Amino acid sequence: HVVSIYEDACSSPDLLLGVGVEEVAQGLHSHFCKYHPEAGLPDWLLLDEGLRQSNRNQADWMLRMLREVGYVATDHCRGTAGPLLLSDAHVELLAKTEHQRWSREKLAGGWRHGPERDSGHLIHPALVDWRMLSECAREKDRMFVRAWSEILSDAPVGFVSN
C-alpha cells in the first residue's frame, strides 16, 4: 500500500499524480479510435479542439474517480506498472458515474435524447438515466472502465489500492 502525502494538499490530478491529464486524454482518444474505427476520428493533433477538451475532461474525471474508490497514484517507469484491478462493484459504480458524467457533458453541449443518434441535430438515444439505459449500453460503459488499465499503461503513473 502506498500513501500519498500530496493527496490532501492537491486538488488537481495533474499536481497530485505528476502526470499530465493531456497524456491520459490522448490515451483515451487512442483507445476509442482503436475500438471504434467506424467513427472515423483523426489522430489527436488533427482532432477538433472541442473533442480534445472532452477527452481532457474525461481524463480528469477518471483520475479523480480512481482516488474516490481507494486507489493512490505512484510514480513508475512508463509501462512497468501492474494492471489496475477493479472489483465488480467498483466497475459498476464507475460505469454508472461515467455515464452520468458523459450525459451532463452532452446535455451542456446542447444534445438531447432521441430514438436514433443524429450528430448533426445533437440527438443521442443513450441520454437517459442509468436505470433507463439498455443493458447493452450499460455493458459498453463497464467495458470502458475495465479498459482503464490498458489506457493508463503508457502514462508515467501507476495506481495501488490503499
pLDDT at position 151 is 85
- Nearest Cα neighbor of 42 from 26, 61, 22, 59 is 26
pLDDT tens, position by position, 15-37: 444 456 888 899 899 999 998 89
Most confident of 84-93, 119-128, 149-158: 119-128
Between 150 and 42, the more confident residue is 42
Q: What is the pLDDT of residues 136-155, one digit of tens each?
A: 999 999 999 999 888 887 77
The three cell numbers of residue 103 are: 450525459
Mean pLDDT, the chain, whole residue set = 82
Parallel, antiparallel, or unpaired: how do β-strands 71-74 and 158-161 relate? antiparallel
**75 pLDDT tier (thresholds 50, 70, 90):** low
Q: What confidence score (pLDDT) does residue 51 get?
A: 92
The per-residue pLDDT for range 87-111, each reduced to its tens digit, is 999 999 999 999 999 999 999 999 9
Higher-confidence residue of 65 and 79: namely 65
Look at 40 and 77; give whichever has higher pLDDT: 40
Element (H, E) at 73: strand 71-74
Residue 48 has pLDDT above 70, yes or no: yes
Residue % of the chain over a pLDDT of 70: 80
State the Cα–Cα distance between residues 44 and 107, nearest whole angstrom.
24
Quote the Cα angle for 67-100-24, to 5°.
45
70: left (phi over 0), alpha (psi -120 to 50) or beta: left
What is the C-alpha radius of gyration for the chain, rounded to an integer number of angstroms?
Answer: 16
Alpha-carbon distance of 28 to 95, in angstroms, equals: 15
Q: Could you tell me the pTM of the whole model?
A: 0.78
